[in-house]
Amino acid sequence: MTESKKQMTRRTCLRSLVGSGTGAIVAGSVLPVGRLFGQEGLSSAGSENAVQTPLDGSSVAATQLDLTVPQTTRWLLGVNIDTPVTITSGLATFPVFMDWPEQTVSITDRTVDGRIGNVAVRELDGARQVVVSIPRLTSGGSVQVELEMEVVRKPIVAPTETNDLIVPARLPREMRAYMGNSPMIDSSHPSIRALSRELAGDAPESDWKMVRQIYDVVRDKVRYQEGPIRDASDALKTGVGDCEDMTSLFVALCRNAGIPARMVWIPGHCYPEFYLEPKDAKPERGELAGTWYPCQAAGTEQFGGMLEARPVLQKGDRFRVPEQRTPVRYVAEFFRCDRQGSKAPRVEFIRKPA
């Protein structure tokens, strides 16, 4: 399943991401189905590549952010497949919610029905997928995999003391994924670099205020307007964009300033996070010293904190997919199969409040 840039349709802040974008399977470790479904009898899918623990700084971030007043929501996620012809080598994947410092996830119900070869969980760096394999499904057959998930999300309150928060002097190798270019985040574009140089010439006295300056510039230069998906540089040039475009531009400008930044995807919306660490932090080996701080690029002003009940689906903007030669912006639903006949199976991905 492929999708050219010209064919991409706008994933607006008011629409779910289900079914949009490029379907993707990202290389990573795959856990046995029992870890997700609490049952036995299905083998785990294999993987050649192991992945690092998601780079969220959980052990440190949870102590540096004031997370209060949790909001509990329930969601249905899954896939239904009906086929008028026999299909073989079927594979369906869909992203599911996972734990982050600001949220905890549990499975409250599950349905696995039909001739399924295997159901497994694939852990990614910043996302999690359910992987469903269907070796053979005859004409008239159907498959249903559905999870009911409870997500408890805590609002993040911005810190009050920020003068000692700094841009890391040296980035761990794993953090380099949040620097440079990503799909639609063209940090190296001349116009973005020129604006970064302009901002650097008028840098505030603290790194926190430097990020705030970037935030204000993005909201000042780009007016919210829905439209076709565009590069960050295009949003800067045209002066219009929606939550994706404004988030991309913020991330691009942060990276130009040496600040790690990434996109956060929630149902129907996205926003950025930036990474700073305490000046005198001394992290334990293998841990991150700092914290990822969110902000709202489009919509109601929120900087350093986030009052949002919708759960985080994934964090990142440069996921590597074996089926494609270039990285993808986010991990979307995906289906493929071989079919015996001209008709195509009906595939419905589900992501909705329970």
- Distance CA(327)–CA(44), nearest Å, equals 25
pTM higher than the cut 0.85: no
Element (H, E) at 82: strand 71-82
3-state class (DSSP) for residue 57: coil
Between the alpha carbon of residue 142 and those of residues 219, 328, 351, the distances in Å are 48, 30, 19
Asked if pLDDT for residue 306 goes beyond 70, the answer is yes
pLDDT in tens, 82-123: 999 999 999 999 999 999 999 999 999 999 998 899 999 998
pLDDT digits (tens, 9 = 90+) for 22-39: 333 222 333 333 334 433
What residue type is 29 in one-letter code? S
Stretch 177-190: mean pLDDT, rounded? 96
- Provide DSSP, 103-171: EEEEEEEEEEEES-SEEEEEE-SS-EEEEEEEEEE-TT-EEEEEEEEEEEE--EEPPS--TTEE--SS-
Domain boundaries, the chain: 29-54+71-154+316-353, 156-294
Q: Does domain 156-294 correspond to CATH entry 3.10.620.30?
A: yes
Rounded percentage of the chain residues whose pLDDT exceeds 70: 79
User: Residue range 295-308: average pLDDT?
Assistant: 95
Q: Which of the four pLDDT bands, split at 50, 70 and 90, describes residue 155?
A: very high
| pLDDT of res. 321 | 72
**pLDDT one-digit tens code per residue, 207-248:** 999 999 999 999 999 999 998 989 999 999 999 999 999 999
The residue behind tokens 């359910």 is 130
